[in-house]
Structure formats: C-alpha cells, structure tokens
Chains A and B, each alone.
Chain A
Amino acid sequence: DAKTTQPPSMDCAEGRAANLPCNHSTISGNEYVYWYRQIHSQGPQYIIHGLKNNETNEMASLIITEDRKSSTLILPHATLRDTAVYYCIVRGELYNFNKFYFGSGTKLNVKP
C-alpha cells in the first residue's frame, strides 16, 4: 500500500477554511485516497474518498492533484467541533480482503 505523509498538527480560526494536506507520492493507479477523522476518545469517522476527480460532500471537499501524488482535505467553514485528528489513507479497490493502515494523522486545532 502507498505510504502517506501528513503534518503532525495545524491550527485554523473558527469560520475559516481548514486545508489539510497529504502526500502519497507512491500511489498507484487503482488506489483511492480516503480521509477519516477521530475526535478525542471516539472511534474514527469516515469523511470522504476519491480516485482522480475532486469530490465534495456535506462534510468536506477533497482535492487531488493531477499527478495524484498529493491531496488536500478542505473543511470550508471550520467550527470548534471540527477539532480532531485527521487521517489520510490510501487503499486499492481491487482488494476485497484488505488491511487499513492509519498513521499518526494531523491534529487540527480550531480556535475561536
């Protein structure tokens, strides 16, 4: 599986957009990018995933570069409740029985 690299922490002002980067330079053509987040002492929550095109849902937007070596998760209007650890994961759709690896993620601190 492709490795991912994320900054350990980021700050964001409440109401502003939070842009969380992820590098996945060894990603292969059939691997998707997934984002999850974990609020303190809770189970991780799925946010969004994508392959090549940019994706948007009610929670966030995912921007994937044309060469697919990096991506950015965008929370358009961060609130204090968005303070959490955000995990970027790369996985292949070809595998039915696969493992999911979560690294250390990015701790997003949303400040008033």
Chain B
Amino acid sequence: DGGITQSPKYLFRKEGQNVTLSCEQNLNHDAMYWYRQDPGQGLRLIYYSQIVNDFQKGDIAEGYSVSREKKESFPLTVTSAQKNPTAFYLCASRFGSGANVLTFGAGSRLTVL
C-alpha cells in the first residue's frame, strides 16, 4: 500500500544531542513537508521541499535541518540548537501539479530528557 512511513515512532534524546527523524514515501509525490505540533496546538511548518535537492524554511526552521537527496526521502534533523525540541513531528507529502491534498505520516514523538 502506498503511504508515508515515519520512524521512529517514539524517540528519547538527551540535551545537546542531534537526532534525525526519518520520512519515506512511496506515493511518487513531489512535495514533502515537516510540521511540529505541541500539546493542544495546531501544526507549525518547519521545512518543505518542492523537488529533489531543493527545500525552503517554514515558520519555525531555527534549530532544524533537512535534506532531499531522493524523491522518496525527506529526513529532519533536530539539532542541539533547537531550544525546546520535545514535540510531535509530522511529515506530509503532496503530488506536485495542482492537487493540494496532503497525505500525512503517523508522526514521531520526540522527548528530550
């Protein structure tokens, strides 16, 4: 079945450590997105990528980095520079031309100890 796979589902990290969240899609979608969600809040855009080897900052990119070396993959690195990284992270993708329906993964919950 086509879809988006995020891993790991749960992740614990010590302060000062970088951590990378995986996002893989087999939908042949062009655009991919990373959102952050804090308890009781909506989704905030971290980074998005329209095509391979290209990505743009969203509203809260500080302390995060991404890469888009393959169409199927859009990993997110939460660096030690992110002041409050404990959150629920959601990856999404969208077919490039015209359609605006986002498909989301199941999310990764990061807890900093």
- Residues 57-112 of A at the B interface (beta carbon under 8 Å): 87, 91, 93, 96-105
What are the interface flags for A17-53 relative to B under an 8 Å C-beta threshold, 1 for contact and 0 otherwise?
Answer: 0000000000000001010100001111110010000
**A87-B42, A102-B43 are known contacts. Are A43 and B101 too (CB-CB below 8 A)?**
no
Question: Could you count the A-B residue pairs with CB atoms below 8 Å apart for me: how many are there?
Answer: 55
CB–CB A43/B107 < 8 A: yes
Contact of B41 among A96, A100, A104 (CB under 8 A): A104
Given that A44-B90, A104-B41 are known contacts, is A49 also in contact with B101, CB under 8 Å in the complex?
A: yes
In this assembly, does B31 line the interface, its C-beta being within 8 Å of a C-beta of chain A? yes
Q: Is B98 a contact partner of A44 (Cβ separation < 8 A)?
A: no
* Docked-complex contact B100 and A103, CB < 8 angstroms: no
Q: Which of B44-102 contact A (CB under 8 A)?
A: 45, 48, 50, 58, 88, 90, 92, 96-98, 100-102
A96 touches B96 (CB 8 A): yes
Contacts A44-B90, A99-B58, A104-B42; A36 near B102 (Cβ below 8 A): yes
Closest to B90 in A: A43
- Asked whether A46 lies within 8 Å of B45 as measured between CB atoms, the reply is no
Interface size class of A (residues with CB under 8 A): 20 to 34
29 contacts between A and B (CB under 8 A): A34-B101, A36-B102, A41-B109, A43-B4, A43-B90, A43-B104, A43-B105, A43-B106, A43-B107, A44-B90, A46-B101, A46-B102, A46-B103, A49-B100, A91-B100, A93-B98, A96-B96, A96-B97, A96-B98, A97-B31, A97-B50, A98-B100, A99-B48, A99-B58, A101-B45, A102-B42, A104-B40, A104-B42, A105-B42
